[in-house]
A and B are shown apart, each in its own frame.
Chain A
């Protein structure tokens, strides 16, 4: 049985559907990231599971038990808020102890568990500090300790790294991952940052318009995006419009070439995705899966360069150019492009 099951969850705010008959199962001990743009319903989903919003219809089942009608304080799961929501009038230890106190945990045990939780997030000795005397990273850890100290089987995290600066973010991400393994709790983490979503998760669920449009391990979702939205949202793939040529290829007038995926082209293919880093600046094979274009812009990005190449048919392609392949062609150069058949991903919608 999955730890958490969401069944046909629907929540409407006025005219907009924040959740649209959404189904999702989360296994015990799993790290799931919910990835989506603003308004995709990812935060609403967390708030419905935590009990702060009521779904218009559908069910939230935790270990098979229906949570509808159960108020937030009686739900055996915890949440870490994007703003951290640390109680400003309580010191760190009191913040962490708050949930244990509500459960009537005796003082000695409470103190011990608060100490453990603070040690777990590397904040020993900070118990007496007030939140406003902490750095952003420290506050984040207190919020995490406070949510984990009750040893929930399920932890909801709303953009837990969102308020941190870039170099702290990577380190904290690894720590989150380690904490999740250590505690064995299932984590559902909401994020709009695709790198974060891919790096931390066992599975990624991509949300759009209140529905899960793709669910799977990070590599699978990245390599085989199911829809145009996923392809562009994750890794900013080139989405090439066209139509099947009836001979197993996909005619793309903007490219002035034919794309030929591995295997048969599924019926109803409306576009194909092609990742920038999978495009080489030389034809890999004769015939299909190669094109010609003019370099319009070259942007150096450190470990690689991004080229904007205007293809013969007028389409503008994003092309990655790795440093080890030498200096990128200059602006205005005419280049030949090529890619593997395996890199062509047919998109349905």
Chain B
């Protein structure tokens, strides 16, 4: 019974993805119709300037926002797990968890309104585009990093840091030689998760970007609105491959945690 349920569920999850991937290699102009094996749609992708430009922007934003997310989320996770109680700790926790539960439309709209107000008041950020998307994605990604880092620190005995202190390490040295290396796998997993989330996001990016900043998902979304073309099909396969690679690496990083 349960085995059948599992098989059906996995089929439901995988079948559309696998069909999509398979038909991307079809010669036919009509998506999801087999016209013989061909890579022509991938070739067409490589010539689409608009797509390539959007992909380049997405990549830069994803790299930057994932890195920033690890910095912010790692520091916040450490504060929540290791700083004991301080005034405002509860508020810290609630705010750090907020991006996880806020709907994308609310996240996007509220960040956009903030950027607009900030620009009106201070002149920064001048216009919206890569920077604003990066900050928005870093905020969302950081919330996930907080969870991963905090969980890792929670299962890591505080005695390890105390032992380092006892053996002559100052607080900064103990952090650098013990805490940080032990947090590293969770931070790596967090980076990959933030990277994937950034590459996947269309709603928040649409809100906080300006005319100059069109990310790859925004292009794909507008193409999908008009229906599926073989080009989108091929593009989807590329995204799928990149995202699956990132996801696989993140899982491996999390598995690495268990050995430590």
B248: interface (CB < 8 Å): no
Task: Report chain B residues within 8 Å CB of A98.
Answer: 164, 167, 169, 177
Residue A58, interface by CB 8 Å: no
- Knowing A87-B164, A89-B182, A132-B259, the reply to whether A81 touches B159 (Cβ < 8 A) is yes
Q: How far is A171 from B170 in the complex, measured between Cα atoms in Å?
A: 36
Q: Does chain A have a CB within 8 A of B20?
A: no
Contacts of A99 in B (CB 8 A): 167-168
Task: Report how far A78 CA is from B168 CA in the complex, Å.
Answer: 9
Contact of A78 with B260 in the complex, beta carbons under 8 Å: no
A interface residues with partner B (beta carbon < 8 Å)? 50-52, 71-75, 78-79, 81-83, 85, 87-89, 98-99, 102-103, 132, 146-147, 150
- Alpha-carbon separation in the docked complex, A99 to B181 (Å): 17
Q: For A73, list chain B residues within 8 Å (CB).
A: 165-170, 173-174
Q: A71 to B162: give the CA distance in the assembly, Å.
A: 11
Given the contacts A88-B182, A89-B182, A72 and B160 also touching, CB distance less than 8 Å: no
Establish whether residues A85 and B163, one from each chain, have CB atoms under 8 Å apart when the complex forms.
yes
Alpha-carbon gap, A89 to B167, bound state (A):
16
Interface size on B, residues (CB 8 A): 21
B182 touches A78 (CB 8 A): no
Q: Which of B162, B173, B260 contacts A102 (CB 8 A)?
A: B173
A72 vs B177: C-alpha distance when bound (angstroms): 16
Checking A75, A85, A102, A146 against B169 with a beta-carbon cut-off of 8 angstroms, the contacting residue is: A102
Whether the Cβ atoms of B166 and A78 lie closer than 8 Å is yes
Q: In the assembly, what is the distance between CA of A74 and CA of B165, in Å?
A: 8
A residues near B166, Cβ cutoff 8 Å = 50-51, 72-73, 75, 78-79, 147
Tell me the bound Cα distance from A99 to B165 in angstroms: 9
Q: In the assembled complex, how far is the CB of residue B108 from the closest CB belonging to chain A, in whole angstroms?
A: 39
Q: Which 7 A-B pairs have the closest CB atoms?
A: A99-B167, A102-B168, A85-B163, A85-B159, A72-B165, A88-B260, A79-B166
> Are B169 and A87 in contact (CB-based, < 8 A)?
no
Q: Which residues of A contact B168 (CB under 8 A)?
A: 73-74, 99, 102-103, 150
